[in-house]
């Protein structure tokens, strides 16, 4: 379409589709370049659909690369364009992307609101594939808040519908999330099986983002089970994918896993170096839920008490920033009283009832 079409609107729409493919394959620089070209063309043509889709695409890539401020800015502009155009389906797609970005920022209340608004629109349109996606995303918000039973319900429903609707592109993410839910509930055999299935499906589809996330969750599951050799192999694969994607988000996750592995192997100095590097890469690039766990781990690994104390306070501050905006009392109580969160708050001498 780029070389044969004389119609500028068609060229711009085709450029957006090519950018979406580059994003899916993990080629973020190409995706950004194509989206920016499409945005310029859309502005010249006053084509709100192209403007909105290009801005939404830029927002998604910015989130994956770890720049959530830019992501939110682009997505809000995309939402405004689609509202002006009266495009309900496109509004729902942007709301889904906004929800995912706010999830990364640890703004779970806003994320849930965005996802539920998107779900209402998509249900009115009977957009089955995207309904499945939103159910998965709502479940992931609950998962991040340690509301695992609710998360599992959403993910099981999403998987059932994905199979019914043959929504194969979405399945790796749902399988991964269900695997995480099961591991959190202590059902390790089932959980590991789902995580492995998610990894295989992501690789078959060429979905590098879900490949990286599946490797991250698999490595953590192996570490919890004490499978050091398997954890090491998976961590090495994750590092390779992170470097191929050239995104701080995945680089930080890979270094985090590597640091935990080195610590469990008794290599404290190497662990500190890896975790320090993870912290530098993670500052604006990874979920707040990962950041507090990273600092909590650092507080155990470093030998100097003064430095450990700083990491405990940083972890506690991220926990506070997560808990205080939650309007749902049950969700807030469940998060604050989840064993890993309670342990960190107690170590930092913070009363959970004060949050």
Q: Give the Cα separation of 230 and 177 in Å (integer).
A: 20
| Whether residue 247 has pLDDT greater than 90 | no
Query: What local confidence, expressed as pLDDT, does residue 259 receive?
Result: 97
With tokens 């495009």, the residue in question is 87
CA distance linking residue 30 with residue 36, whole number of Å = 10
Find all residues with CB under 8 Å of 160, minimum gap 6, and list them. none
Q: Which one-letter DSSP state was computed for residue 186?
A: T
DSSP state for residue 147 in the 8-state scheme:
-
pLDDT at residue 65, as a whole number: 87
* CA-based nearest residue to 130, from 165, 177, 155, 87: 165
Residue 217, pLDDT score: 97
CB contact set of 85 (below 8 Å; sequence gap of 6+): 48, 49, 52
- Dig out the tokens for 144 from the structure: 């991040």
Which of 106, 166, 86, 167 has its CA nearest to residue 134? 167
Tokens of 21: 């493919």
Query: Cα-flanking dihedrals φ and ψ of residue 187, to 5°?
Result: -95, 70
Task: Quote the pLDDT of residue 5.
Answer: 46
pLDDT at residue 1 greater than cutoff 60: no
Report the candidate in 183, 172, 111, 170 with the shortest Cα–Cα distance to residue 140.
Answer: 111
- Helices 248-264 and 268-282, interaxial angle, to 10°? 160
Q: How far apart are CA 192 and CA 17, in angstroms?
A: 35
Query: Tokens 């766990």 — which residue?
Result: 293
pTM of the model: 0.92
Give the pLDDT confidence score for residue 6 in this predicted structure. 56
Burial class (CB in 10 A: 0-12, 13-18, 19+), 44: exposed
Q: What does the alpha-carbon distance between residue 334 and residue 328 come to, in Å, rounded to a whole number?
A: 10
Query: Model confidence over 19-34: pLDDT tens digits?
Result: 999 999 999 999 999 9
Q: Could you tell me which residues come within 8 angstroms of residue 72 by beta carbon, excluding any fewer than 6 positions away? A: 59, 98, 101, 102, 105
Q: What separation in angstroms does the CA of 332 have from each of 106, 107, 178, 188? A: 13, 13, 22, 26
Q: How many CB atoms lie within 10 A of CB 73?
A: 15
Of the chain, the percentage scoring pLDDT greater than 90 comes to 89
d(CA 109, CA 113): 6
- Residue identified by tokens 């608004």 is 117
Q: Which residue has the tokens 């170590």?
A: 347
pLDDT in tens, 264-284: 999 999 999 999 999 988 876
Q: Which H/E stretch holds residue 92? A: helix 88-104
Q: What is the rounded average pLDDT of the residues 211-224?
A: 97
Question: When comparing pLDDT for 78 and 288, which is higher?
Answer: 78
Q: Is the pLDDT confidence value at 92 over 90?
A: yes
| pLDDT score at 77 | 98
């Amino acid at each position: 379409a780029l070389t044969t079409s004389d119609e500028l609107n068609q060229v711009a729409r085709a450029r957006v589709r090519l950018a979406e493919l580059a994003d899916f394959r993990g080629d973020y620089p190409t995706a950004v370049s194509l989206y920016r070209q499409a945005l310029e063309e859309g502005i010249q043509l006053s084509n709100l659909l192209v403007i909105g889709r290009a801005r939404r695409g830029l927002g998604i890539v910015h989130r994956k690369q770890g720049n959530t401020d830019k992501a939110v800015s682009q997505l809000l502009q995309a939402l405004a364009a689609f509202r002006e155009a009266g495009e309900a389906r496109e509004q729902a797609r942007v709301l889904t992307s906004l929800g995912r970005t706010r999830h990364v920022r640890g703004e779970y209340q806003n994320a849930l609101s965005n996802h539920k608004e998107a779900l209402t629109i998509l249900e009115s349109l009977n957009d089955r594939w995207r309904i499945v996606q939103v159910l998965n995303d709502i479940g992931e918000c609950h998962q991040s808040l340690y509301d695992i039973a609710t998360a599992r319900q959403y993910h099981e429903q999403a998987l059932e519908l994905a199979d019914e609707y043959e929504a194969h592109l979405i399945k790796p993410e749902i399988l991964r999330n269900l695997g995480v839910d099961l591991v959190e509930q202590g059902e390790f055999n089932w959980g590991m099986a789902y995580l492995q299935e998610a990894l295989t499906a992501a690789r078959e589809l060429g979905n590098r983002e879900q490949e990286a996330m599946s490797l991250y969750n698999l490595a953590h599951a192996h570490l919890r089970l004490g499978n050091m050799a398997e954890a090491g192999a998976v961590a090495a694969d994750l590092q390779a994918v992170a470097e191929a994607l050239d995104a701080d988000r995945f680089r930080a996750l890979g270094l985090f896993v590597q640091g935990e592995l080195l610590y469990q192997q008794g290599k404290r100095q190497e662990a500190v170096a890896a975790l320090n590097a993870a912290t530098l890469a993670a500052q604006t690039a990874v979920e707040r839920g990962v950041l507090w766990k990273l600092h909590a781990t650092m507080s155990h690994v470093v030998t100097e008490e003064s430095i450990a104390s700083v990491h405990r306070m940083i972890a506690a501050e991220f926990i506070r920033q997560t808990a205080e905006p939650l309007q749902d009392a049950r969700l807030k109580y469940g998060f604050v009283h989840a064993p890993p969160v309670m342990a960190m708050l107690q170590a930092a001498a913070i009363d959970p009832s004060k949050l």
